Amino acid sequence: MLSLSGISLKSGVEGLVFRRRAVGVIVSVCAVALSACGGSTPAAQSSSGTTAAGSTTTAPKALVPATIALAVNVLDLAPVGVAQKEGFFKKEGINATVEVVQGSSVADSALAAGTVQFSGVSSTAAVLADAKGLPLESVVSCNIGNTIQIFVSKKWLASHPVSASATTQEKLASLKGATVGELSSSDVAVYKLAAKDGGYSYSQFHTISFTGQAAAAAALKNGLIDTFAASPPATAQLAAEGLGSVLIGVSSLPLGASQEYDIVLASRTYAQAHPDVVKGVATAIAMADNFLTDHPNQAVPVLVSLFPGFTASELKTSLAETVFSKNGLVTQSNWNDAIQWNVETGAIPSGSTAKEGVVWTNQYIDTAALG
């Protein structure tokens, strides 16, 4: 996960985060300093009082604190911020604190250490955590479908025109010989698949490595590279700046649209000890999933507050390109597709699995509360 700094794509953008997958192995458990509550969550307490007339009343039940560490502030994980902004957490009895940390490994290490109670990460990170023996479990799904997009410069498109009605193979074939800006192993995986499906070898790309997406975006702007991979709303903003356009989204590739993608995890130990808290958090995020899907016009102003520096138009475009999970639910098929995709791209080892009740569960979502 990489920070957007050092480039002026638009006033106020510095410090925002472009989408990238952290596919490194989950680091060993460590304490992470966050302005968050501790690992144990007290049970909600109620109290009674007496009115001036002497009658006894019951005070509102206290909200239970819970901290959620987001691996990155990105649209795929927006249901967490929306649940906070729209009061869904409070409706479910949760006083939520949302912290953005530096990547999935940090988020999951904080979760495993008990520094936070939940983490918002990718399905890849969940499988890697399981492979490392960390007892973490997805309790609600944020979105289905890989949101990474191949963004191509205006200059390259001018010299390599491709029809909007072209097939996926034709679009990918048009990238042959391009100079690719690469930032992580997930970028390499995307372009290896692009070359394979386009009918040529990955070695026919020219590649330049970057340490951050801000640098890659600057290189694209200056003509040093022709293409790099990013996700909405970053790609929408680059397009609005006239730097190029999205050639194709990974969701157009096999397994791309059907895989489980972003999730919220809890440790199984914590979930077993505090099922009501987990239920409240999972249900609130599921409410936000539905809100983003069913009320996009109302959702855009909320997203503007969550992603300063991006315009309402850019976020509206990005929202239309993101599939949030209905009722926060996911299926074994979605997880199987995520496993197959990540094995094929080399992000996770062959033989990895995502078993229900181990890596993921729907049991904490109160569907009756979702209407």
Q: Which domains does the chain have, with CATH numbers?
A: 2-40+62-146+258-370 (3.40.190.10), 149-252 (3.40.190.10)
**Taking a C-beta distance cutoff of 8 angstroms, is the pair 158, 235 a contact?**
no
Whether residue 135 is preceded by a cis peptide bond, meaning omega within 30 degrees of 0, is: no
**What residues have CB less than 8 Å from 351, skipping those under 6 apart?**
none
pLDDT for res 188:
83
Per DSSP, what are the bridge partners of residue 356? 360
- pTM of the entire predicted model: 0.79
The CA–CA distances, whole Å, from 110 to 122, 258, 262, 292 equal: 15, 29, 18, 28
Spacing of C-alpha 327 from chain mean position: 17
pLDDT for res 46:
40
pLDDT tens by residue, 183-207: 776 778 889 889 989 999 999 999 9
Q: Tell me the chain's radius of gyration from C-alpha atoms.
A: 21
pLDDT for res 57:
54
| Alpha carbon distance, N-terminus to C-terminus of the chain | 35
Q: Which residue has the tokens 């390499």?
A: 188
118 closest CA partner among 71, 176, 181, 51: 71
pLDDT tens by residue, 275-297: 999 999 999 999 999 999 999 99
pLDDT for res 43:
41
**What residues have CB less than 8 Å from 56, skipping those under 6 apart?**
48, 49, 50
pLDDT for res 322:
95
Residue numbers of the chain with a pLDDT score lower than 70: 1-61, 185
